[in-house]
């Protein structure tokens, strides 16, 4: 038997009709009871919290992070599944992945239809997630949804309501779940895990500010005035803004604030191509480019760098490592265990 722990956090997969809309209310055992468990898998449930994921805070995510690590401290656990709302699933998954150094997998899944929907996707997604958690090794933190397995890094919610909700706009799935087994399409190198932050304390404020036509620095200034220690500037195109924004970024970085540039475009990397307040000037002002990370995960990168400890220089160095990391591949013999459960 493989032992998988399901950590329940709410979301649509735990939601029921409230008279004027859906809201998370079911506990983990109710979610688990809605579908079948793969043969050869023993499941235990941890009810962490029950919220719609649009309501999540950094405190929620840090509780989840520490709960995952506490769960994996038990050597009898073969894998972890986190049931999560889809709105911010990509953020929680990336945060968990940056601090995950265990060979055993952590699998996030959810649903696009509520728990009591006759044509719902909760049961299928949970079954696939349990199977992946029970059989995978050295895959890090992954997102399992609609029969596909995606690496946490780079995967985003790509559709508001469609069953195939998640994808990596700049990459391919790691694998697929079909006919009761997981098949892997490519190998994924693993970066060294960040040191786990100590529990307690007030997490740092990290904000996201989007640029647009006629954009100014009002929101960026307000973020800094509110005490933000990190800001993601969501640029147009390949990561562009205007000279006023570039000047404000320079003042922010001079004050020790971490600034990362992402883009509002759905796919492609940010790149220093343009001046006049473009990414060339933003980099000169001290901002770091987020590569292919979309805004939500770029924010998590800054948050993780700040949580990893050390002063401003250490945080900037950690952020650079997160954004620029090219980890060494594991030996093929150590990379995956994809045997069928029960064999």
> Among 290, 283, 284, which Cα is nearest to 320's?
290
- Helix H segments across the chain? 28-33, 58-72, 89-98, 122-135, 218-225, 243-254, 279-284, 295-307, 312-324, 332-335
Query: Structure tokens of 121?
Result: 């996707």
Active site residue 132: no
Work out the number of other CB atoms within 10 angstroms of the CB of residue 16.
14
**CB proximity list for 106: less than 8 A, separation 6 or greater:** 68, 72, 79, 80, 81, 82, 96, 97, 100, 133, 140, 141, 142
Active-site pick, 50, 67, 71, 86? 86
Cα–Cα distance, 145 to 126 (Å, whole number): 9
Residue 36, judged by CB atoms within 10 A of its CB (0-12, 13-18, 19+), counts as exposed
Query: Structure tokens of 199?
Result: 């529990």
Q: Which residue has the tokens 């992954």?
A: 142
Active site residue 183: no
State the DSSP string of 162-206.
-SS-EE-TTS--SEEEETTEEEE-S----PPPPPPPPSSSPPPPE
Instruction: Tell me the chain's radius of gyration from C-alpha atoms.
Output: 20
Cα–Cα distance, 107 to 122 (Å, whole number): 14
Q: Please give the DSSP secondary-structure letter assigned to residue 240.
A: B
> Among 208, 228, 238, which Cα is nearest to 299's?
208
Q: Please give the DSSP secondary-structure letter assigned to residue 165.
A: -
Q: Which residues are catalytic?
A: 12, 86
């Amino acid at each position: 038997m493989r032992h998988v722990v399901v950590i329940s956090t709410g979301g649509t997969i735990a939601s029921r009709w409230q008279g004027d809309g859906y809201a998370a209310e079911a506990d983990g055992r109710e979610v688990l009871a809605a579908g079948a468990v793969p043969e050869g898998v023993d499941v235990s449930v941890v009810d962490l919290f029950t919220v719609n994921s649009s309501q999540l805070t950094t405190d929620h995510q840090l509780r989840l992070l520490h709960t995952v690590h506490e769960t994996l401290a038990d050597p009898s656990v073969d894998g972890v599944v986190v049931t999560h709302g889809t709105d911010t699933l990509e953020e929680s998954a990336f945060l968990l992945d940056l601090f995950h150094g265990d060979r055993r997998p952590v699998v996030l899944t959810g649903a696009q239809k509520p728990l009591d929907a006759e044509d719902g996707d909760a049961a299928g997604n949970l079954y696939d997630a349990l199977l992946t958690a029970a059989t995978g090794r050295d895959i890090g933190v992954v997102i399992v949804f609609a029969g596909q397995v995606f690496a946490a890094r780079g995967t985003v919610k790509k559709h508001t309501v469609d069953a195939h909700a998640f994808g990596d706009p700049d990459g391919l799935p790691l694998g697929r779940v079909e006919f009761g087994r997981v098949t892997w399409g490519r190998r994924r190198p693993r970066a060294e895990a960040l040191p786990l932050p100590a529990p307690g304390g007030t997490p740092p404020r990290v904000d996201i500010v989007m640029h647009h036509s006629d954009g100014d620095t009002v929101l960026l200034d307000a973020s800094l005035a509110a005490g933000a220690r990190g800001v993601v500037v969501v640029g147009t195109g390949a990561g562009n803004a205007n000279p006023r924004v570039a000047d404000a970024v320079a003042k922010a970085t001079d004050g020790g604030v971490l600034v990362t540039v992402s883009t509002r475009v759905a796919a492609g990397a940010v790149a220093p191509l343009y001046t006049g307040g473009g990414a060339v000037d933003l980099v000169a002002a001290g901002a770091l480019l987020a590569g292919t990370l979309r805004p939500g995960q770029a924010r998590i990168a800054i948050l993780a760098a700040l949580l990893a400890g050390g002063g401003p220089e250490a945080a900037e160095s950690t952020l650079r490592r997160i954004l620029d990391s090219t980890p060494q591949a594991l030996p093929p013999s150590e990379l995956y265990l994809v045997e069928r459960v029960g064999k």
